[in-house]
Chain A
Amino acid sequence: MKNKDYSFSKLHAEAFTCIQCGYCRRVCPVYQKIGRESATPRNKVYQLQNLLSSYPPFANIPPEFAERFWQCTHCRRCVDVCPAHMDLMNLWQGVKHQLAKRGAVPKQIMATKQRIKEHGNIFANPNEVRSYWALSLPGYPEVLRPQDPEIAVFVGCVASFYPLLVTIPLAFAQIMLKLGIKAYFLGADEYCCGHPLITAGEVAVSREVARKNLAKIRELGLEKLVFLCPSCLSSWHEDYPVYNQGELGITLVHYTEYLADLVREGRLQFAPYPHRTTYHDPCDLGRHLGIYDPPRRILQSIPELEFVELANNRADSLCCGGGASLHMIDQELALGIRHARLEQIKASGVETVVTACGECRQVLTFGLQDVKSAIRVLDIAELAAELVVN
């Protein structure tokens, strides 16, 4: 299934590839939490087969069908274990697309769609204030728009607006300033990447914001785009070429890849951090984009940092529960999924857990606060800014 073709015939072809082996049961965080066979990816596909076999397809959608489809973090673990190599991400999006067309969509998703449409971001804030995280930077706002920039930076809605997370772009900007790298922050020229709508199968609005973002980058003549949010990068990497009907002609990298290159070149060096530290692989960065090593290379370059892996790491990493807006749709379920990851972090005996995704950073911070843990939660950019010695 390619080109966001969510037609019945495409859904049918993919759905009937499922052999019902149940490999997905072992890894699906939603099934692990809910504990009912109806919540397994394979059962979703089975019920989908039934809906597609009826005439007309999707005529009578059981309420439980829609409920189960929206209970998904898009963690992609089912894709990785599927022996039939089903394109499950696209299938989930396709089903949600069909559900949305028939009004079977959670009101929270509808509200997000509306906010993005009207304001260009998921928080319904004026888009002009996207760079307010940088108010404390000397030379603001000019410092964010240097002449002849080396890179452009796409911050993403969550880290642009969410108070807990504005330290992430701030930290990255501080590193760039310290290293004398000219980084152009898009700020008000940036629109929501469309990721929350893409995972919800909302093609029209996500295509619209994708076009706006692409047009802006082309207008500015920027060739290298560094992303602070893996979900945004995932959209640009996987979905924008579909909307663009071809390659974008822009180099897209996650900031951990960019910083890891600076470390390799010797341009970025750190002060010692004598603490036992682990790394939580975000689903969008790891399983979706295959970026596992750069964050580890950065951490391992920090003197005296004792790096330990979590029991589930890299492609086998556990979801934090924050994906695909699940916390808005079913908070209890999202918290349940979070619990499993928190237990692993606590069991690892670390003093610090770092990640490379604003959503994960937020989920883990609140989670560890809730259980009164003293473990420090940071984004890699924050830790890097704290330790940079250049």
Chain B
Amino acid sequence: MSELLTKLPAQLRELATDSLYERLAYSHDMSPVEGFLTGDWLKTVPDLVVLPHSREDVALLLAWAEEERIPVTPRGAGSTSLFQSVPAKGGVVCDLSWLNTIGPWDLTAGTVRVGAGTIIYDLIQQAEMRGWTLATFPSSAPGGTIGGWFNNGGRGYGALLHGNLLEQVRGLEVVLPGGRIEWLTRDNSELPIEWFLGSEGTLGIVTQLEIELLRRPEAQGHIAFGFHDIAELQDFLTNYLWGPFLPYNVTFVSTTSGGQQLQRINWDAMLPSNFFVASFFGSLDHVELGIQRMRAFKSEYRVRQLPNWQAEKFWQDRYYNFRLQRTGPSLLGAEVVVPLAMISHYTRGIEQLATAQRKPMITYGYLINRKEVYVTTMFWSDEARTISYLLDLSLVSALYNIALKAEGKPVGIGLWNTPYLRHIYSARERRAMWERKQKLDPQLILNPGKTYRATKLLRPSVFSPAMLLTRGFRKLITRIGRARS
């Protein structure tokens, strides 16, 4: 038994493990990061893992951690890719998976209390059995937890019509550093719920949420259109979205340079390079009128309506964007929010990069409001080929630069996006964030080493030139390779 485990309060000891094998499972997330990249300057393997069964367990842990000055990193499903839930400085990982109770339900008001470790898909299933559903949900619902999703901004399908998760959160139970348990409501001005949205577990550990549900829609309908040019797609959506009958969701795909790779996952070869799928939920009338209006709208554009089955199939596969991985071996990419008005600018930038670096890429995303698109761009690499993989990593920063030029910004901070902090938040926002952090966690116990400032190696003054150089080197190698072939 490690010394730290012996120091842990007795009540927590049986919920904890110091086994190296167990701890290794918490030293990574979805991002394929080579060990030597994190080796010396980070301590990603926690010293202990604790799996609390109640908010009281969490409170006890945070009280002890503050007293002992031990870092605590909260973790949901670990299904992010910026090391949001991977320790940077060792300490304790607090795995919230077993805070997964669903209920009690208030089916009159349409609300439910749900443990932070609940898998989102489980909540959707339970709600639908009762005639309700979640107003918005992420594409990773079968893997992600509701608490993890909230801590990472709560964006998802349906946000176009219903706003992000914050709009549906009626109450939030959070354990603050030191162990104080708070129940926050929408009218709490001293500790606003908003502070915790997207805070990546740095201000407190969210243990329960009260969610406002949506009546399970009577009908749903999907319609898809293919475009020759992404600019036309952008124009179509921009103009359409300001009228009535706002869709529940709009997803778009631009496969231009990555189309060939997609054949390996039985991607429908009949799908055009640029297309979107609009989904209407609601009463039968609403769905029908929405689809009719969109169909009528198309007459003003050079656009091809895709068969209904293609639109429906695309919606059915809404949780399976990761099937792209099958085209691997490894996928790298970036998640950004880009103004809808700049989406063609963004995708053209991607195409230019793909051509210059001879690297096929695919871009897809969905609208999170009338003006903004949550975009993911992915490209293929092979983490087993270390040198080329490292060179490929530099392209991620190029993707971010393209997004920044298109007035967009990276999504999430964690560790790996700290070089972009000043682009993600204004100076005023960063100041406000830091003040909150100091107010709630003055000892910097919760999830330290991330989110608020970049470590030495990730400071923009070091990181940006390094990435630029690597990219240049990669381009050179690619050219030499091309010339030889």
Residues of A within 8 A of B (CB): 12-13, 16-23, 25-26, 35-38, 40, 43, 46-47, 50, 53, 62, 64-65, 81, 83-85
Whether B78 and A84, one on each chain, are in contact in the complex, defined by CB atoms closer than 8 angstroms, is: no
Top 7 A-B residue pairs of the complex, sorted by shortest distance between their CB atoms: A83-B322, A64-B21, A84-B325, A22-B143, A37-B25, A19-B325, A23-B142
- Tell me the minimal C-beta distance from A377 to chain B in angstroms: 27
What is the 8 Å Cβ interface bit string for chain B, positions 307-333, against chain A (1 contact, 0 not)? 000000000000111110110111100
Bound Cα distance from A336 to B145, whole angstroms = 24
Q: Which of B122, B321, B383 contacts A16 (CB 8 A)?
A: B383
**Residues of chain A within 8 A of B142, CB atoms compared:** 23, 26, 81
Contacts of A47 in B (CB 8 A): 21, 24-25
Determine the distance from Cα of A62 to Cα of B51 in the docked complex, in whole angstroms.
Answer: 23
B22 / chain A contacts, CB cutoff of 8 Å = 36-38, 64
A25 to B121, CA, bound (A): 12
B49 cross-chain contacts in A, Cβ below 8 A: 37
User: A46 to B122, Cβ gap below 8 A?
Assistant: no
Minimum C-beta distance from A9 to chain B (A): 10
Contact A16:B28 (CB < 8 A) given known A21-B322, A26-B142, A36-B22: no
Indicate if the CB atoms of B320 and A16 lie closer than 8 Å: no
Question: Which residues of B does A touch, CB under 8 Å?
Answer: 17, 19, 21-22, 24-26, 28-30, 49, 51, 77-79, 95, 97-98, 119, 121-122, 140, 142-144, 265, 319-323, 325-326, 328-331, 383-384
Nearest-CB residue, chain B, relative to A81? B142
* CB closest chain-A residue, reference B329: A16
Residues of chain A contacted by B95 (CB below 8 angstroms): 37
A95 CB → nearest B CB, Å: 15
- Which of B51, B78, B320 interacts with A22 by CB under 8 Å? B78
Tell me which residues across on chain B come within 8 A of A81, comparing CB atoms: 142
Name the A residues within 8 Å of B329 (CB-CB).
13, 16-17
B25 touches A43 (CB 8 A): yes
Residues of B near A23 (CB, < 8 A) are: 142-143, 319, 322
> Given contacts A17-B326, A36-B22, A37-B26, could you give 14 more A-B pairs where the C-beta distance is less than 8 Å?
A12-B384, A17-B325, A18-B325, A20-B28, A20-B29, A20-B79, A22-B144, A23-B319, A36-B25, A37-B95, A38-B19, A40-B25, A84-B322, A85-B265
A14 closest partner in B (C-beta): B329
Assess whether A20 is in contact with B30, with CB atoms less than 8 Å apart.
yes
Do B17 and A21 have beta carbons less than 8 Å apart? Answer: no
Q: How far is the CB of A47 from chain B (nearest CB, A)?
A: 7
The minimal Cβ–Cβ distance linking A56 to chain B, given in whole angstroms, is 16
Q: Which of A16, A50, A53 has the most chain B CB atoms inside 10 A of its CB? A: A16
Which among B19, B98, B122, B325 is the interface contact of A83 at CB below 8 angstroms? B325
Q: How far is the CA of A84 from the CA of B326 in the complex (A)?
A: 5
CB-based contact A83/B323 at 8 Å = yes
**Given A16-B330, A23-B142, A35 contacting B119 (CB threshold 8 A):** no
B143 touches A25 (CB 8 A): yes
Minimum C-beta distance from A22 to chain B (A)? 4
A85 to B326, Cβ gap below 8 A? yes
Our pick among A25, A36, A53, A84 for the contact of B17 (Cβ within 8 Å) is A36
Looking at the assembled complex, report how far the CB atom of A58 sits from the nearest CB atom of chain B, in whole angstroms: 16
Residues of A within 8 A of B17 (CB): 36
In the complex, how many angstroms separate the beta carbon of A317 from the nearest chain B beta carbon?
Answer: 15
- Is the Cβ of B326 less than 8 Å from the Cβ of A26? no
Q: Report the bound CA distance from A27 to B388 in whole Å.
A: 36
Q: Is the CB of B24 within 8 A of A16?
A: no
Q: From B140, which residue of chain A is reached at the shortest CB distance?
A: A21
Q: How far is the CB of B26 from chain A (nearest CB, A)?
A: 7
For B21, the chain A residues whose CB sits under 8 A away are 38, 47, 62, 64-65
Q: How far is the CB of A83 from chain B (nearest CB, A)?
A: 4
In the complex, how many angstroms separate the beta carbon of A99 from the nearest chain B beta carbon?
15
**Distance in Å from the Cβ of B288 to the closest Cβ of chain A?**
31
Nearest-neighbor residue (CB-CB) of A62 within chain B: B21
Q: How long is the Cα–Cα vector from A244 to B321 in the complex, in angstroms?
A: 37
Q: Is the CB–CB distance between B25 and A17 below 8 Å? A: no
Residue of B nearest to A311 (CB): B129
Q: Which of A25, A36, A37 has the most CB of B within 10 A?
A: A37
Chain A residues near B331 (CB-CB < 8 A): 19
Chain B residues closer than 8 Å to A26, beta-carbon distance: 119, 121-122, 142-143
Q: Which residues of A contact B383 (CB under 8 A)?
A: 16
B78 cross-chain contacts in A, Cβ below 8 A: 20, 22, 37
Give the complex CA separation of A18 and B328 in angstroms: 10
Determine if B328 and A83 form an interchain contact, defined as CB atoms under 8 angstroms apart. no
In the bound complex, CA of A21 to CA of B139 (Å): 11
Question: Does A21 lie within 8 Å of B143, measured CB to CB?
Answer: yes
